[in-house]
Structure 1
Amino acid sequence: MPLEADVLAAFPAEVQIPAELVADAVAASSAASPRVLVVLDDDPTGTQSVADLPVLTRWDVADFTWAFSHIRENNLKSAVYVLTNTRSLDPAEAAARNEEIVRNALAAAGNTAGAAEGKALRLGFVSRSDSTLRGHYPLEPDVIAATVAAETGEATDGVVIVPAFPDAGRVTIGGVHYMRGTGADAGTLTPVAETEFAKDASFGFANSEMARYVEEKSKGRFAADSVIVLDLNIIRAGAAAADPAISAKAIADAIESATDSTPIVADIVTENDFRALALGLEEAERRGKKLLYRVGPPFVRGRIGQEIRAQLSGEEAYAGNTPSEAGGLIVVGSHVGVTTRQLKALTEQHSAARIVEIDVEKLLGDSAAGYLDETVDTVVESLRTGDVIVHTSRLLIKTDDAAESLRIARTVSAAVVAVVNRTLKTFPPRFVIAKGGITSSDVAAHGLEIRHAIVRGPMLPGIVSLWEPVDGPAKGIPYIVFAGNVGDDLSLADVTRKLSNTF
């Protein structure tokens, strides 16, 4: 494994860029025609890097109209997240959902209720996906581009691909996407194709070099040598003069040739790199380039010029609401290694919590309904005296058939949702933590019946977000969205400890 310091030695130092500089550039471009980024988030964990933005789990025109109005009336940064959950869908379903969302967003943008002072909204579209490269690529940006063209006549020149998530140890250097080592391996870089994530049953891949990943996933439609690579020499072009404008020009110049959805890959190692990229993209769009974005979680924060929000305290998590005396509900569905280690640490440290395991084999059997009834009864009774940890059995049932793997995943997720929803209606918990992407999506939209929420900020620096439901039966209950593949072994316990009254 190469050392990060050695890989970075070939490139300039980062350019120091305040978030305010990006925010000012965005505001200037929005003066005549306000722009909102619509973030199609393929699982809800994309919100972990932002704060004080609206989140939708439904996407009717009226939902977008609410979000656009909420942004304007509260003077928020101009972005809204839409929880698509498409990583849990098959390709045809994912395509249909992306198309519907884009059409409805564009329709809402044309409503006077969605415009500021009578000015029509411009929409930018972000396809937010996994920082370890799992998801429906290039399907989702393809569908977004095609729908925008069909609805507006506007062709997409380039698709900017930025999977980096430095907060969680994912960085792109020299066009290669890496995972940072931890513990004894701190300071090292592992190409992401050599990690467990590349072996995903539904979205596996073989290439860590992003241009070759694009060629692999597009089945040769985009050859590796046709991909524009914005390496750190370009992103940090202003380093010698300490001038962000030089970087912005270099980025915009490099994108100039993009046409017909040309893939554009960007190196990112630090927050300053995100901000340099944002200024360059702003300049490219000012010149007339039409861009879509396929990105990891922190991109939007950098693109809109939002400061990094400090982690929320337990007191801040309950601000404006009176916490229940009931126990909290921690729901764990992800099966990646870090989640299993976090679950082990939580159960070892939180001796007062009741542990309820959902046996996946029983869910797939003939007596699933009766088994679910028993599980709900156990959870409800246990919440009366303390926290409850509900987790699926750690034995992952896999098949060689991607569609069958998704079917099993859906069956398990449906059971988790049923447990959460029936518990909520019977004895509302003090808080809810959902661990895992598909798990947290389904728990939000169906288990807690959240339609509109505000992401308040992170519970851990940059990686775990707190949503405040603004409607439905979960209103007033802090909801914590916790990706399966982030944090160290103690992170789940750390978040639970902040919220619990028995830990």
Structure 2
Amino acid sequence: MSKVLAKEVFDKIPAVDVKVVDELLTKELAELDKKIVVLDDDPTGVQTVHDVSVYTDWSLDSIENGFKEESSMFFILTNSRGFTAAETEKAHKEMSLNITEVAKKLNKDFIVISRSDSTLRGHYPLETEILKQTIEANSQVKFDGEVLMPFFKEGGRFTVNNIHYVQYDEYLVPAGETEFAKDRTFGYTKSQLGEYIEEKTKGAFKAENTTYISLESIRNLEIEKIKEQLLKVENFNKVVVNAVDYVDVKIFAIALVKAIKSGKNFMYRSAAALTKVIGGVSDKNLLTRDELIKEGSKNGGLIIVGSHVKKTTEQLEELKKCDFIEFIEFNCHLVLDSEKFEAEVQGIIEKTEKLIAEGKTVAVYTSRKRLDLGEDKKEEELKLSVKISDAVTSIVGKLKVRPNYIVAKGGITSSDVGTKGLKVKRATVAGQIKPGIPVWRTGDESKFPGVAYVIFPGNVGTKTTLREAVEILNQ
């Protein structure tokens, strides 16, 4: 594994005057009169923002409400990381058509950001290609290029010398050498982002035709040079942005807005950092228990753990050290026998309900061994995993007692719990309970209005972060 010491990499990067950068960025953003629509392929993409709306459907009404908000940015939760390719294509066509229709009606320009995983998993390039084709076919918009920025500081994802890294303790490991690259549905082998693009687009876009925005240019504040690089991009070629800190995103955003004002138009495939910066979202302290739990309920909380990545399993083991939590294992391998599976789900719901009403916090977790049907069974596995996810969701959907709070671990799990279990149509992002771990305040239409819903990504935090977040909620 070609890992490198993080400190050695970061120490070589020169500092920059953040105050100067912030002033330049504020000026540029004030002149960017566009609505920013973030299409989020799972609910963890709001992990850097606060006081922003998330809509859980892409109906014309929801999109129009988003466009009419005072805020410059709103999120649409697509949950497409849990979709098949065909479902993803259909959904992105619908979204594109509805966005262009609302934009025409309200005579408002817009930017579309396809927010996806900072470890490079997801339906790429399918999603942004469908967005490009559909928007161009139904509006005057023409896209010159596509910006890729998977940097996400809170999760330890950094791009240096065009190579995307995932941080493990004091080391940076190239993304293509991590467990995420071995994802059965969204796997890849390349860590150099131009090569990753070439691999994913099956050679349609070449690494050598990619425009690279270097850390050297960024830290030297070569804003005009970066703008000139962007002005030269055409034919939907790709732009890779190196970044190790938010200041890098800000400097790039200054040049980007200048390029946009000069008439350039880009599609965006990014992790969560770009949305915070281009949306002009301020920093906010981590949320406290008093901000999250306002009523004097005697009921216990509910924790649902679905994600199977190694980090989640480690965090679950650490969570088991909490003596105030009752743990229930959900044997999801029974999915192959419908009758036993149904009985298992019903038993868990009854037990969970009883314990929460007694004031005990319950953690329901899926069996840690992944269901493996063998090679060439990806679509079948995905369909069974949807059935398992639906069952996990039904635990929340069928609850009669209101938990004091809800934590869902894993992107697809948290999406399904939010949209299907809690029936949220629109939520407000309250902020983060720990870095990179967002909290929704559910809307009046939801099953439990105003409940604090903690969306815990599968691949974020250290071994102890899940336990620490739950301890905050139980102080």
What is the TM-score when the length of structure 1 is the normalising length? Answer: 0.90
Superposed, which structure 2 residues align to 1:340-351 within 5 Å? 340-348=313-321, 350-351=322-323
2:421 maps to which of 443, 447, 451: 447
Q: 1:20 to 1:408 in 2, by over 3 A?
A: farther
How much has 1:13 moved relative to structure 2? 3.4
Q: Is contact 1:448–1:474 with CA below 8 Å preserved after alignment?
A: yes
The corresponding residue for 1:97 is 91
What CA distance in whole angstroms lies between the structure 1 residues aligned with 2:468 and 2:22? 29
How much has 1:299 moved relative to structure 2? 1.2
Q: Is contact 1:15–1:236 with CA below 8 Å preserved after alignment?
A: no
What CA distance in whole angstroms lies between the structure 1 residues aligned with 2:447 and 2:333? 31
1:411 maps to which of 387, 393, 399: 387
How much has 1:2 moved relative to structure 2? 1.9
The corresponding residue for 1:274 is 249
Report which stretch shifted further, 402-411 or 205-214.
Answer: 402-411
Runs of 4 or more, structure 1, over 6 Å off, are: none
Give the match's secondary structure for 1:334: coil
The corresponding residue for 1:131 is 118
What is the TM-score when the length of structure 2 is the normalising length? Answer: 0.95
How much has 1:440 moved relative to structure 2? 0.5
The corresponding residue for 1:55 is 54
The corresponding residue for 1:477 is 451
What CA distance in whole angstroms lies between the structure 1 residues aligned with 2:272 and 2:448? 25
Q: Is contact 1:21–1:305 with CA below 8 Å preserved after alignment?
A: no
Q: CA RMSD in A?
A: 1.6
The corresponding residue for 1:325 is 298
What CA distance in whole angstroms lies between the structure 1 residues aligned with 2:5 and 2:228? 31
Give the match's secondary structure for 1:110: helix
Q: Note if 1:298 corresponds to 2:298.
A: no
The Cα offsets for residues 183-225 of structure 1, whole Å up to 9 and x where unpaired, read as xxx1x22111111111001001000000000000000000110
Report which stretch shifted further, 377-386 or 213-222.
Answer: 377-386
Give the match's secondary structure for 1:59: coil
Percent identity for Structure 1 against Structure 2? 33
Structure 2, unaligned stretches of length 5 or more? none
How much has 1:261 moved relative to structure 2? 1.2
- Matched residue count: 467
| Counterpart AA for 1:25 | E
What CA distance in whole angstroms lies between the structure 2 residues aligned with 1:439 and 1:11? 38
What CA distance in whole angstroms lies between the structure 2 residues aligned with 1:82 and 1:22? 25
The corresponding residue for 1:288 is 263
The corresponding residue for 1:430 is 404
How much has 1:323 moved relative to structure 2? 4.8
Q: Is contact 2:5–2:172 with CA below 8 Å preserved after alignment?
A: yes
How much has 1:405 moved relative to structure 2? 2.3
Superposed, which structure 2 residues align to 1:199-278 within 5 Å? 199-238=182-221, 247-278=222-253
Q: Is contact 1:363–1:415 with CA below 8 Å preserved after alignment?
A: no
Q: Is contact 1:128–1:296 with CA below 8 Å preserved after alignment?
A: yes
What CA distance in whole angstroms lies between the structure 1 residues aligned with 2:38 and 2:123? 15
The Cα offsets for residues 368-419 of structure 1, whole Å up to 9 and x where unpaired, read as 2222211110110111121000110111112322212211211110110111
1:391 maps to which of 356, 365, 373: 365
What CA distance in whole angstroms lies between the structure 1 residues aligned with 2:145 and 2:295? 48
Q: Is contact 1:19–1:306 with CA below 8 Å preserved after alignment?
A: no
Q: Note if 1:353 corresponds to 2:325.
A: yes
Q: 1:158 to 1:413 in 2, by over 3 A?
A: same
What CA distance in whole angstroms lies between the structure 2 residues aligned with 1:153 and 1:89? 30
How much has 1:8 moved relative to structure 2? 4.8
Q: Is contact 2:331–2:344 with CA below 8 Å preserved after alignment?
A: no
How much has 1:455 moved relative to structure 2? 0.5
Structure 1, unaligned stretches of length 5 or more? 113-119, 239-246
The corresponding residue for 2:466 is 492
The corresponding residue for 1:244 is none
